[in-house]
């Protein structure tokens, strides 16, 4: 698929924007007579639908207000093919085999190209074929794991949340974290890789023979596995869990805004508890740390999936009030299928916004929340993104997109209306939220980067560098041999450029 022409993304004159019910369609010339579009309101909402209808008409598409026999393309958002068919059935309309059921991403690409683009598999909505016949899928006949083919790179392994080796991975996570606290990166990496490879195994390690052919488990990692198999625990891990420095760092870094440097300082000063630190008059705290202490209880109690979904609604409401065509995607651990997280991450992008509108959006959104009293903390970092810069070689480099690190006030009522009425006193919870705004043509790279996991990302970059002579980061993919940037419209295309089999988000829990 052609990427959007760059002229389209540059500075453009601002048009007066009509929204909502007030939007009436003015007659437009129909340039593409072979297509008749109908945009489904379900899950998209009236305003957003009206926006797309008007936009498409302006670009010369025929868009019907009502569904009729003449419609050739149904465009929907956040609906599967089955959802659309179900909706058609309820409307008493039979879908002909010619009727195309397409995702909104197709229409957005058409808008970018200024003409109908070819519909491909990634645009077509999938119709589930629920087969009640499970006689062929015998769970006993799972083939034995092909251990000899396990890659040393997490991006060539499928890692779901179903971890069969938690005893070992918990131990390695502790050791990796302890080395991180001691700023011993090379040792930390050894244990992160060991934990990561074990998380991908479809079976539990029960004897040392099971380790045959599994990479990243040499030396110390191997001897710790042996100890756990024999004694049920590792003496080294036990020692770390009882170590003053480890315990203090673990506690101090649990405060939002406190990193290794501050922890080190407090530890050296002899602090061991948060209450002592909080009440010490001689200590100076940053804004971030003040907020971290103020909302500590809420922030350590992790975000649930229901809370994340409620935040998602809040974010979409605010973003779409200013940019109705914007894509808002929940990224991070929740996109990987996790049911809890320490924050909720969102990627925002728009095919239609001018550079100015794009730059203003996060400001407008956070101002709106501020007015509503929902903004408990806000750190907005402007973009330092440069289009022609080669990607960063560092595996842990921060990206250059505009972003904000927030603490939002989430009213219980938005999560569960029953719970809200039961509780007296505080009727909200403080939630950490990250919003990232990226240029539309970089959305696939940003999405891949912000979906994580961190280990998956590190290994993707390491793989690109060492196996493909390419440099990958959250903005771009650069081919060092051909000396060109490789464009991508989707995560699938990035994997394809790297010569990797596609790994679904829920298989990236490395
Ligand atoms: N990430 C990134 N650049 C950053 C920070 C994060 O590319 N400066 C990526 C890596 C993972 C993803 O974004 C989300 O980050 P986190 O929220 O820290 O991780 P998570 O997997 O969502 O974990 P949690 O569930 O604890 O929030
Ligand atoms: Mg997260």
Last residue of a domain, one of 261, 294, 327: 294
Average pLDDT, stretch 231-251?
A: 97
pLDDT tier, 389 (very low <50, low <70, confident <90, very high otherwise): confident
DSSP 294: H
Q: Residue whose CA is closest, atom 2 of ligand 1? A: 450
Using 50, 70 and 90 to split pLDDT, how confident is the model at 198? very high
pLDDT-derived band of residue 99, with 50, 70 and 90 as boundaries? confident
Taking the centre of ligand 2 as the mean of its atom positions, its distance from the CA of residue 299, in whole angstroms, is 12
Q: Is the pLDDT of residue 272 over 90?
A: yes
pTM, entire model: 0.76
What is the distance between the alpha carbons of residues 52 and 73, in angstroms, rounded to a whole number?
Answer: 14
Per residue in 3-51, pLDDT (tens digit) is 433 333 334 444 444 444 344 556 789 999 999 999 999 889 888 899 9
CA-398 nearest atom, ligand 1: 8
Cα-to-centroid distance, 344 and ligand 2 (Å): 5
Q: Does residue 396 carry a catalytic annotation?
A: no
**Residue where the block lists tokens 């922890």:** 263
Which residues have C-beta under 5 Å from ligand 2, the single-atom ion? 332-333, 341, 343, 345
Region of poorest pLDDT, from 124-138, 149-163, 166-180, 213-227:
124-138
Pocket of ligand 1 (CB under 6 A): 332-333, 338, 341-343, 345, 398-399, 449-450, 452-454, 457, 474
pLDDT in tens, 423-439: 678 999 999 999 999 99
How many residues comprise the chain?
A: 510
Do residue 45 and residue 27 come from a single domain?
A: yes
Q: What is the CATH number of the domain that holds 288?
A: 1.10.150.20
How far, in Å, are 201, 209, 308, 449, 465 from residue 494 at the CA level? 25, 37, 28, 11, 14
Residue-level pLDDT at 144: 39
The verdict on 252 and 369 lying in the same domain is no
Residue in the block written with tokens 């992160």: 192
- What is the token pair recorded at 140? 């006993």
**Domain-embedded: residue 51:** yes
Task: Based on the fold, state whether residues 278 and 420 are members of the same structural domain.
Answer: no
Q: Using one digit for the tens of pLDDT, what is the confidence trace for 312-325? A: 999 999 999 999 99
In a domain, 25, yes or no: yes
pLDDT for res 421: 63
More confident residue, 81 or 201: 201
Of 114-118, 211-215, 416-420, 469-473, which range is least confident?
416-420
Question: Is residue 276 situated within a structural domain?
Answer: yes
395 and 477 part of one domain? yes
In total, how many domains does the chain have?
A: 4
Based on the domain organization, do 309 and 289 belong to the same domain? no
Q: Is the pLDDT of residue 133 over 60?
A: no
Strands 340-341 and 344-349: unpaired
Predicted local confidence at residue 138, as pLDDT:
38
Q: What atom in ligand 1 is closest to the CA of residue 345? A: 17
DSSP state string for 99-149: -EEEEHHHHHHHHHHTSPPPP-TTTBPPPP------TT--GGGPPPP-GGG
Domain stops at, among 113, 141, 169 = 141
Predicted confidence (pLDDT) at residue 155 exceeds the cutoff of 90: yes
Does 510 reside within a domain?
no
pLDDT, position 375: 98
What average pLDDT score do residues 131-143 get?
Answer: 37
Q: What is the pLDDT of residue 143?
A: 38
Q: What mean pLDDT comes out for the span 241-267? A: 98
Q: Which pLDDT does position 69 carry in this prediction?
A: 84
Token pair listed for 277: 């630190």
Q: Which is more confident, 108 or 255?
A: 255
Domain edge (last residue) among 115, 141, 167 = 141
Question: In the structure, what pLDDT confidence band is assigned to residue 141 with cuts at 50, 70 and 90?
Answer: very low
Active site annotation includes 343: yes
Is 351 in the same domain as 493? Answer: yes
Which one of the ligands is nearest to 473 CA? Answer: 1
Tell me whether residue 125 is in a domain. yes
Q: What is the DSSP letter of 35?
A: E
Q: What count of Cα atoms within 13 Å lies in the side-chain half-sphere of residue 279?
A: 4
Q: Which of 434, 435, 438, 433 is nearest to 350 (CA)?
A: 438
54 and 79 both lie in a single domain? yes
Ligand 2 centroid – CA 140 distance (Å): 36
Which CATH number fits the domain that encloses residue 86? 3.40.50.10190
Residue range(s) defining the domain that contains residue 73: 5-141
Specify whether 314 is located in the same domain as 434. Answer: yes
Pairing of strands 303-304, 327-330: unpaired
- Dist. CA 386–CA 401, nearest whole Å: 9
pLDDT at residue 394 in the model = 79
Q: Are residues 186 and 125 in the same domain?
A: no
Q: Which of 325, 345, 399, 459 is catalytic?
A: 345
Give the separation between CA 244 and CA 279, rounded to whole angstroms: 21
Same-domain check for residues 50 and 99: yes
**Does the residue 502 lie in any domain?**
no
State whether 352 and 451 are in the same domain. yes
> Mean pLDDT over residues 468-489, rounded?
96
- Euclidean distance between CA atoms 473 and 395, whole angstroms: 8
- In this structure, is residue 462 part of a structural domain? yes
Among 450, 472, 505, which residue has the most ligand 1 atoms within 8 Å of its CB, making it the best to mutate?
Answer: 450
Check which CATH number belongs to the domain holding 162 and give it: 1.10.150.110
- Give CA–CA dist 260/265, Å, rounded: 9
Higher-pLDDT residue of 97, 279: 279
Closest-CA residue, ligand 1 atom 23, reads 333
CATH code for the domain in which residue 369 is found: 3.30.460.10
Q: Kindly tell me if the per-residue pLDDT of 64 is higher than 80.
A: yes
- 345 included as an active-site residue: yes
Q: Is a pLDDT exceeding 50 seen at residue 104?
A: yes
- Residues 264, 358: one domain? no
In a domain? residue 147: no
Q: Which two tokens stand for residue 64?
A: 């019907």
């Amino acid at each position: 698929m052609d990427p959007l022409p760059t002229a389209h993304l540059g500075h453009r004159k601002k048009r007066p924007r009509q929204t909502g019910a007030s939007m009436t369609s003015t007659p437009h010339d129909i340039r593409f007579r072979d297509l008749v579009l109908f945009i489904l309101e379900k899950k998209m909402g009236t305003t957003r639908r009206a926006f797309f209808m008007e936009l498409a008409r302006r670009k010369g598409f025929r868009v019907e207000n009502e569904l009729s026999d003449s419609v050739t393309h149904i465009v929907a958002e956040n609906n599967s093919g089955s959802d659309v068919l179900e909706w058609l059935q309820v409307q008493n309309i039979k879908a002909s085999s010619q009727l195309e059921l397409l995702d909104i991403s197709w229409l957005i690409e058409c808008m970018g190209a200024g003409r109908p683009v070819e519909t491909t598999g990634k645009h077509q909505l999938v119709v589930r074929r629920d087969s009640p016949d499970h006689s062929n899928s015998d769970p006993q006949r799972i083939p034995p794991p092909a251990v000899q083919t396990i890659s040393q790179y997490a991006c060539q392994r499928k890692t779901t949340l179903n971890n069969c080796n938690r005893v070992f991975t918990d131990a390695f996570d502790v050791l990796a974290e302890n080395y991180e606290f001691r700023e011993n990166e090379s040792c930390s990496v050894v244990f992160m890789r060991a934990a990561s490879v074990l998380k991908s195994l479809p079976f539990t390690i029960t004897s040392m023979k099971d380790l045959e052919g599994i990479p990243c488990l040499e030396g110390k990692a191997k001897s710790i596995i042996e100890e756990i198999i024999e004694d049920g625990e590792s003496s080294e891990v036990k020692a770390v869990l009882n170590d003053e420095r480890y315990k203090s760092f673990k506690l101090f870094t649990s405060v939002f805004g406190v990193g290794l440097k501050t922890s080190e300082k407090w530890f050296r000063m002899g602090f061991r508890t948060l209450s002592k630190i909080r009440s010490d008059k001689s200590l100076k705290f940053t804004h971030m740390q003040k907020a971290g202490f103020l909302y500590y209880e809420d922030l350590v109690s992790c975000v649930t999936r229901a809370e994340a979904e409620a935040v998602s609604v809040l974010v979409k409401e605010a973003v779409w009030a200013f940019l109705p065509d914007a894509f808002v995607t929940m990224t991070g651990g929740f996109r990987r299928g996790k049911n809890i997280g320490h924050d909720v991450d969102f990627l925002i992008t728009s095919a239609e916004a001018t550079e100015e509108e794009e730059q203003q959006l996060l400001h407008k959104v956070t101002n709106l929340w501020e007015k509503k009293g929902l903004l408990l903390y806000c750190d907005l970092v402007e973009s330092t993104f440069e289009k022609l810069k080669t990607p960063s070689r560092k595996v842990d480099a921060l990206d250059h997109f505009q972003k904000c690190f927030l603490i939002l006030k989430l009213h219980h009522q938005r999560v569960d209306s029953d719970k809200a009425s039961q509780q007296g006193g505080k009727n909200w919870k403080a939630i950490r939220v990250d919003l990232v705004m990226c240029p539309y043509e970089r959305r696939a790279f940003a999405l891949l980067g912000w979906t994580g996991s961190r280990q998956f990302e590190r290994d993707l970059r390491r793989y690109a560098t060492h196996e493909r002579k390419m440099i990958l980061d959250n903005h771009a993919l650069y081919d060092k041999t051909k000396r060109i940037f490789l464009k991508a419209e989707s995560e699938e295309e990035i994997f394809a450029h790297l010569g990797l089999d596609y790994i679904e988000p829920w298989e990236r829990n490395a």
